[in-house]
Structure 1
């Protein structure tokens, strides 16, 4: 193909052929992209359907978790009042929660589900010990091992409350028993010297150790006061007899 003459008299090359070829390549490229992305709508619809289902499951799991935490709190308060507690509702709600999130591992191990499991474990441990029964098995409860250990740490605080109630009633022996339970739970937690990424239990152990020391100190003070009361009563009786003569 013959070129055209430019203003300076030099022959100018004709780039029409190159432009046509370039446009053709661009056209073919866009056509190729369109053929590859023709399933974009189906993919986005599938992802949206899955995420909407997960959102629905999450809302249901949140509702169940709140109910479980509320029921566990009520059960523990009833135990401290010396009332009989029925944990069947808590067990049923826990089964529903596990069934709801079983196909969603990210929700099963999420914070709010773990918190609910933790409350279930704490309630089960406290109930079993006060009822003179073996501790519940986490596999039978359907909870995670980490939530079981964290619930064990929280149970130490509940037995401190039992110890203080016993001190108020003047029951030294029951207070000693509560402290013994606290120490045994603490000793069990001390065996798990694992990174925080596996189980964040160090803070629970520190709190448990602090509660044990406080309770032990309060027991010592109560025993000293009780000993002083006995001595005072003994002296009072002695002087009363002297004045009666």
Structure 2
């Protein structure tokens, strides 16, 4: 019995350690997800200083999450951990795209390749909001530039063809991006056509004004003669 008690106690100790690590990881993952969501909101409000501060907090949380699970790789690659790291990649990429910085890679963020690629796809989808904001502000050229980034990301992700278990469900995320991309492309196309129509109307009005200005001097003497 002593031998059995010893091996059972050792197994229970391992489970207790895993349970403690899991609870800590869940807390860190929730904090990381919240920080990333707040950072993305700040970026959309163009509050880049606040967004950078939130990303710094998120970076510390992501590092703490990885370090806390260094001895528990099964928990590091569990869904909640990878989802939180994916959110971190998304927030960092959205900041880079809208701030005009080079996009960070997976190694610099310290995230797994699958989490990074899924975060990249979701960051591209997040650009839709920025594009629509640009359209409403009349900054069509900026919206077109962001749409080109969305298109480039989708074109690259669609070429990645590996099992979903390896890519963390990247195919589903890419399919969702395609739907967002097509809707956004339609919105941008409509905005461009509207801009062209407004420009054509303004040009037509200017031509009418020039024609009226050109004919007015010839009519004036006649009007003066009739009045005499």
Structure 2-normalised TM-score?
Answer: 0.85
Q: 1:55 to 1:189 in 2, by over 3 A?
A: same
Query: Quick one: distance in 1 between partners of 2:148 and 2:203?
Result: 31
CA deviation string 1:138-171 (max 9, x = no partner): 2232211110011011011111111111111111
> Residue 111 of structure 1 corresponds to which residue in structure 2?
79
Q: Which residue of 1 aligns with 2:223?
A: none
Partner of 1:45: 9
* Equivalent residue, structure 2, for 1:154: 122
3-state DSSP of counterpart to 1:197: helix
User: Aligned residue for 1:66?
Assistant: 30
2:100 is equivalent to residue 132 of structure 1: yes
Other-structure match for 2:66 = 98
List gaps (5 residues or longer) in structure 2. Answer: 217-228
The aligned residue for residue 82 of structure 1 is: 46
Say whether residues 1:122 and 2:90 are aligned partners.
Answer: yes
1:188 CA drift (Å): 2.0
Aligned counterpart in structure 1 of residue 198 of structure 2, from 206, 229, 233: 229
Q: Pick from 169, 172, 192 the counterpart of residue 203 of structure 1.
A: 172
2:149 alignment counterpart:
181
Structural RMSD (CA): 2.0
Higher relative contact order (CA 8 A, sep 6+): 2
Tell which structure's C-alpha radius of gyration is larger: 1
* Match 2:186 to one of 191, 195, 217: 217
Mapped to 1, the partners of 2:204 and 2:107 lie a distance apart of: 59
Q: Secondary structure at the match of 2:26?
A: helix
Give the secondary-structure state (helix, strand or coil) at the position aligned to 1:136. coil
**Could you say what secondary structure the match of 1:198 adopts?**
helix
Give the C-alpha shift of residue 230 in structure 1. Answer: 2.7
Aligned to 1:143: 111
Measure how far apart 1:242 and its partner are.
4.9
How far residue 122 of structure 1 moved from its aligned partner, in angstroms, is 0.6
The structure with the greater share of residues assigned to helix is 2
Compute the displacement of 1:137 (Å): 2.5
- Range 134-143 or range 69-78, more displaced: 134-143
Instruction: Normalising by structure 1, report the TM-score.
Output: 0.79
Equivalences, count: 209
Deviations 1:46-66 (A, max 9, x none): 111111111111111000000
